Structure 1
Amino acid sequence: MSDVLSPYMMLALLAGLGVGGGIALLVAALVGWPRKAGRGGQSTGQQLAAFLRRRGAAAVLVGLVVLVLLKWPVAAIAAGLLVMFWSQLFGGLKGEKAALAKVEALATWTESLRDTVAGSAGLEQAIAVSARNSADVLKPHLNRLDDRVRTRMPLPDALDLLADDINDGGADEVIAALKQSAGLRGAGLKQVLTDLAHKARSDVGMRRRIMTSRSPTRRSVQIVTAVIVAIVTGLRVFNPDYTEPYATVQGQLVLAVVFFFFAGSLAWLRRLAKVPEPARFLVRARAGGAR
């Protein structure tokens, strides 16, 4: 087997690297790079560097093990990419739970604002009270909003900064209602907040039902992938004569095509499973600060 591979090892490695790069770009296009929400945000390069540091070592180690075990460069690259993008292809539960917690926190915050405003409290006072009783996912952002209001920053400007901190389309709807109320100082805020709270609560219920219905499908995809990997590995280790044609350059190219379409189907399935998030509309321009 090594005699068959040795004249074409470099060519097979280059082909495998090309296919691996194509799979990585396909996954990035369909699934997207992981993003971290934080104050000020991170650039795409910083997010990518952090992602590679977390997964790169494990991916290289698994790739080397597969290369030594199977002697297939394309399979080694595919195994490394599978480890690197495992959570993007088969995960998502953690992200769905985080999104659910944020929507539920927004609903609770909106209800707290509505109840405080209904007690004839001013908007600034309602913000301070709701910040103290908010969920952990929103508490740092609301505490900063309260600090800005206490330092005499105009309320619309402070709310603009809050929208940037939370970075969520659903939060933009609540903040837009607060901005309008802060500018007009008119009635009707209670009813608007009630409608937004009801909308957020219905969104929470929908997300819970979706998470429950997806659990069996997510588990089935993981089991099918594990079975395929186990069968291929078993055939290669225990019946090498049967898989000998794949040790050639042509066989490696065939495997590369198979892995490419398999990864593409997984990435497409993961994309279809995403819950569409409401688009943001309170977005400040980078240069002038206008919205």
Structure 2
Amino acid sequence: MEFRNGSMTAVVAVLGALFGLGLVTIVYGSLRRPDREVRAGAVRSLMERLPENWTKRRVTVAGVTGIAVGALTAWPVAAPLTTAALLTLPGLLGPDRQSARRTERMEALATWTEMLRDTLSAAAGLEQAVLVTADIAPTALERELGSLAASVRGGRPLPAALRVFAEEADDPLADVVVAALVMAAAQQGSQLGPLLGELAESVREQVAMRQRVDAGRASIRTGVRVTVSVTLGMAVGLVVFNRPYLDPFDTVAGQVVLAAVGALFATSFAWLTAIGRVDEPVRLMSSATPHDPAGRGAVPGGTR
């Protein structure tokens, strides 16, 4: 049975369009972020796992493009495959900006910790040291440290301001530094300088280790880019320059085979992404509760 014959082509195009619109509607609904108090636990967990770069605009463009490809090729399977590819492949083939940003923030945290240590060694108090170093903060943490300094100058207690800073920084290593500073502010610790020096050295070691890991992952990502680029280039070339070669995919059996091949590629790409992902440590500072904007409910040793 040929999908290209007569009215069947129109039916397939309509079905593909409906499928694409349904997919866009489902993902759009997932990205709406309704009130946390009315969401079911399973739905909340699913939405939190969605990539942050899956914006409404990107999902809409991917869905519309998938519908167009499905209509042009008269292959119903082409619509979901194209949509999935446009949503996932840019993150897999493009530069790992998230890892680079994470490394940059770790280096900034180490630099700020060393600045605190050096300022404290000049007989400055902890609060004064925080204010002085925040004004010359490293670029990667400039916004968070600027907010910290503004909170302290506004009269917020230093421990509460530090907890809010930890929440904004959203980094396990920042939690360790903040926990030490909070305890020092509460107990007037006299050995904070040497402790901050050890923490800075530890962060530097973490940065060096992450850079070695990123260097090893770079070769894997290069291999993935070459494989995916050659595969997609060959597929597009056949569709554009040698369409009769793909006539077997116009049948029902051909669509089933195409769906199976697409599923295998999707599984392999997902596996390659998973083996290249670095799991982040568990955070030590709990989140500030909605009823406690000052962050006083966030205590060292909590879980996120």
Aligned residue number for residue 111 of structure 1: 114
**In structure 2, what residue type is equivalent to 1:153?**
R
Aligned residue number for residue 60 of structure 2: 56
Is residue 33 from structure 1 mapped to residue 33 from structure 2 by the alignment?
A: no
264, 268, 272: which one pairs with 2:267? 264
**Cα shift at 1:133:** 1.8
Structure 2: where are the runs of 5+ without partners?
A: 31-44, 299-304
The structure-2 alpha-carbon separation of the partners of 1:155 and 1:14, relative to structure 1 and needing over 3 Å to count, comes to: same
Cα deviation per residue 1:97-156 (whole Å; 9 max; x = unaligned)? 111111111010111011111222100111011112211221221122122222332111
Is residue 181 from structure 1 mapped to residue 184 from structure 2 by the alignment?
A: yes
Aligned residue number for residue 35 of structure 2: none
Is residue 255 from structure 1 mapped to residue 272 from structure 2 by the alignment?
A: no
Which is worse superposed, 164-173 or 262-271? 262-271
Aligned residue number for residue 42 of structure 1: none
Report the secondary structure of 1:283's partner residue: coil
Structure 1: where are the runs of 5+ without partners?
A: 36-46
**In structure 1, what residue type is equivalent to 2:284?**
F
Aligned residue number for residue 13 of structure 1: 16
5 Å matches for 1:206-245? 206-245=209-248
Give, in whole Å, the separation in 2 of the partners of 1:287 and 1:135: 29
Give, in whole Å, the separation in 1 of the partners of 2:260 and 2:15: 13
**Cα shift at 1:163:** 1.2
Is residue 170 from structure 1 mapped to residue 173 from structure 2 by the alignment?
A: yes
Cα deviation per residue 1:237-291 (whole Å; 9 max; x = unaligned)? 4444443232122322222222123112212211221222222121135355423
**Cα shift at 1:14:** 8.8
**In structure 2, what residue type is equivalent to 1:33?**
L
The structure-2 alpha-carbon separation of the partners of 1:8 and 1:256, relative to structure 1 and needing over 3 Å to count, comes to: farther
Is residue 275 from structure 1 mapped to residue 292 from structure 2 by the alignment?
A: no
**Cα shift at 1:231:** 2.2
Give, in whole Å, the separation in 2 of the partners of 1:103 and 1:91: 22
Give, in whole Å, the separation in 2 of the partners of 1:15 and 1:259: 20
Report the secondary structure of 1:138's partner residue: helix
Size of the aligned set, in residue pairs, is: 272
Give, in whole Å, the separation in 2 of the partners of 1:270 and 1:276: 12
Of structures 1 and 2, the one scoring higher in RCO (CA 8 A, sep 6+) is 1
Give, in whole Å, the separation in 2 of the partners of 1:77 and 1:154: 53
**Cα shift at 1:92:** 5.0
Cα deviation per residue 1:183-212 (whole Å; 9 max; x = unaligned)? 110222112211111111112112222223
Whether the 8 Å CA contact 2:12–2:75 is kept in 1: the answer is: no
Cα deviation per residue 1:1-48 (whole Å; 9 max; x = unaligned)? 511853972797399769x79xx89xx97x94333xxxxxxxxxxx75
**In structure 1, what residue type is equivalent to 2:171?**
D
Aligned residue number for residue 70 of structure 1: 73
**Cα shift at 1:68:** 5.2
Whether the 8 Å CA contact 1:16–1:74 is kept in 2: the answer is: no
Tell me the TM-score normalized by structure 2: 0.77
5 Å matches for 1:82-93? 82-93=85-96
**Cα shift at 1:88:** 2.8
Report the secondary structure of 1:243's partner residue: helix
5 Å matches for 1:192-203? 192-203=195-206
Whether the 8 Å CA contact 1:123–1:182 is kept in 2: the answer is: yes
Which is worse superposed, 169-178 or 238-247? 238-247
5 Å matches for 1:149-160? 149-160=152-163
Aligned residue number for residue 41 of structure 2: none
Whether the 8 Å CA contact 2:172–2:281 is kept in 1: the answer is: yes
